[in-house]
Structure 1
């Protein structure tokens, strides 16, 4: 073969090989691009989170049982109190005067009763000897009975006056803390008017107000998560009461949550966020996919998934799926897909089973 022919042959081979390489590169470059996402199991419900406040389960409003002018208030806001501590006292002068009057009335009634008893005993003896008439005997007996009754009333009057005097001291009904100081020294208060509000930090609960659109999803006994932002801590809680009326709560319902395993850093009055249906949220056992990725044959629904086939390249697989309900999380998939599958979410138009694609 001449040198000229050899040169032409080598040139043809080089051009042919170059052309084949270009075609292969063009085929690779022209692969359809698709977007995909990894399928994860999700909870079938949405989180229900509402704000609330920490309250003491025992939070009495203490008040005097008698009216009067406050003479002393022995505790300040935030101070600890013990059960039986005297929180405040009223001016006692009027009640001491009432007691002395009751004691004086008692002494007068007692003297009258002694005199009537003595007269009755004398007339009774004369009556038995037929020395006085029946009417005189009956009159003496009636007077004795009357003075005895007056003596009993006077005795009860002393007891009542002593109780009234005792009620001028306001005592704590619990071991706790002064949460609110309602009244001040020298203030005239009525019986039953709040003077202090007490609470205890050893028996706390969270109160949240849930809108009517969500109250039906909250059940007694369900576990919740309570986040106290002021101290950056989470606490486990349990729903113990669910309100049945929204009256006075502005179309919301009060929900009371017991706090489990609380510590001393939690305080009454703190604002919290209560995450309801915590136990259901932890059950991630459903698959939801976007509605737009579902394609239809005559009688079936299907999607495309992709299996990686090298760097940035994958192979398409057509998968028939069984669908469930449409939710705000997407379309529920009952069968056909598994956790970890790579679902094609964009570029699925005119794909074919087994087709090679470029991954974005």
Structure 2
């Protein structure tokens, strides 16, 4: 009896195990479709517009990047050692030639000028006396009341007095020039971009106090790869893009530095651009360098639709409509480059409104 009981238990266990396996395979699920037998959904091709994928020759360009720079940047510096009394401008201010920018303490300079003028007065008095003495000695010489040597001494004294007067007058002119340096004026029209001084600071000769640039003379300075540098020459027109203000314009190659950077293997080029508001030195800029035309496989851009992260197109294949994933590239005038997924001659369905 025990043997029969054990056999029944084993058989029941096997039956339960088999039923479980069939259930996991979906044998008890009605309407199941066998793997690999699902037909691709197709539609009739009547009343659809198709365009053939084809190669199209398009202009090809390379880009070089750089920064906006001013053709003329001026550093305003002091020519004398003096304390700063006032600074009349700040970064961003537009100035005109002749505008007063900085005033320096000129009290020492005024004192030196006054001393030089007093020295001139003294020299004039000395010259007047020397002239009168020479004239008197000249009369005495005619009557032989004095010797020739005494008269010659008076002539020399007059000449010395005249030379000292000239020297004193030159010192006055120098003192006036030095005093004029106490007021620093704009040497040209421009915009202040940097201020490195404040009232109370000590200005030293040659020390930069302000920096200004001419907003009407801007250009893009870009580093162009060696192999592309030969495609441009001075006077060529190139397309310039200023991303910060979403502006595109035409520039002119004005300068090509005849030396390549050994680290980057590039040549510096300077491209002049027209004056535009909102463009400042230091902004990022790009230029397009024309290359040889290249053929690209293209289809209408509107025929590509996004499905999540995928790019999909609808194809007409054997009078049926199928869907295929593609990978696209650049766009030109309504067409888009197909990098993979299509071959030349494939028929792409385009929405009727975009055909």
Counterpart selection for 2:213 from 189, 195, 199: 199
Counterpart selection for 2:173 from 135, 155, 159: 159
Matched, 1:38 2:66: no
Mapped contact 2:83–2:203 kept (Cα < 8 A): yes
- TM-aligned CA deviation for residue 229 of structure 1: 1.0
Q: Is the partner of 1:264 in helix, strand or coil? A: coil
Mapped contact 1:313–1:359 kept (Cα < 8 A): no
Matched, 1:93 2:102: no
Aligned to 1:182: 196
CA-based RMSD: 2.9
Matched, 1:52 2:66: yes
The 3 A distance-change label for structure 1 pair 202 and 359 is closer
Q: Is the partner of 1:110 in helix, strand or coil? A: helix
Matched, 1:259 2:273: yes
Aligned mates of 1:114, 1:105 — CA distance in 2: 14
Mapped contact 2:104–2:182 kept (Cα < 8 A): yes
Deviations 1:68-89 (A, max 9, x none): 2222111011111111011102
Q: Is the partner of 2:286 in helix, strand or coil? A: strand
Deviations 1:23-67 (A, max 9, x none): xxxxxxxxxxxxx95121144xx5231222222223211112222
Q: Is the partner of 2:67 in helix, strand or coil? A: strand
- TM-aligned CA deviation for residue 347 of structure 1: 9.7
Deviations 1:221-253 (A, max 9, x none): 111111111111101101010011346996543
Deviations 1:159-210 (A, max 9, x none): 1000000011110012221111122322222222211111122222222223
Aligned mates of 2:131, 2:53 — CA distance in 1: 106
Mapped contact 2:53–2:343 kept (Cα < 8 A): no
Counterpart selection for 2:244 from 205, 230, 235: 230
Alignment of 1:323-338 (within 5 A): none
Aligned mates of 2:178, 2:253 — CA distance in 1: 43
Mapped contact 1:64–1:169 kept (Cα < 8 A): no
The 3 A distance-change label for structure 1 pair 251 and 108 is farther
Q: Is the partner of 2:73 in helix, strand or coil? A: coil
Deviations 1:256-283 (A, max 9, x none): 11114x4323333322112233xx66xx
Aligned to 1:5: none
Aligned mates of 1:161, 1:122 — CA distance in 2: 36
Alignment of 1:13-28 (within 5 A): none
Mapped contact 1:81–1:178 kept (Cα < 8 A): yes
More strand by share: 2
Aligned mates of 2:248, 2:68 — CA distance in 1: 13
Aligned mates of 2:142, 2:131 — CA distance in 1: 16
**Structure 1, gaps ≥5 residues long:** 1-35, 290-310, 315-344, 349-356
Aligned mates of 1:102, 1:60 — CA distance in 2: 34
Aligned mates of 2:271, 2:263 — CA distance in 1: 17
Q: What TM-score does the superposition give when structure 2 sets the normalisation length?
A: 0.65
The 3 A distance-change label for structure 1 pair 346 and 196 is closer
After TM superposition, the structure 1 stretch with the greater mean CA deviation from structure 2, 263-272 or 87-96, is: 263-272
Aligned to 1:108: 122
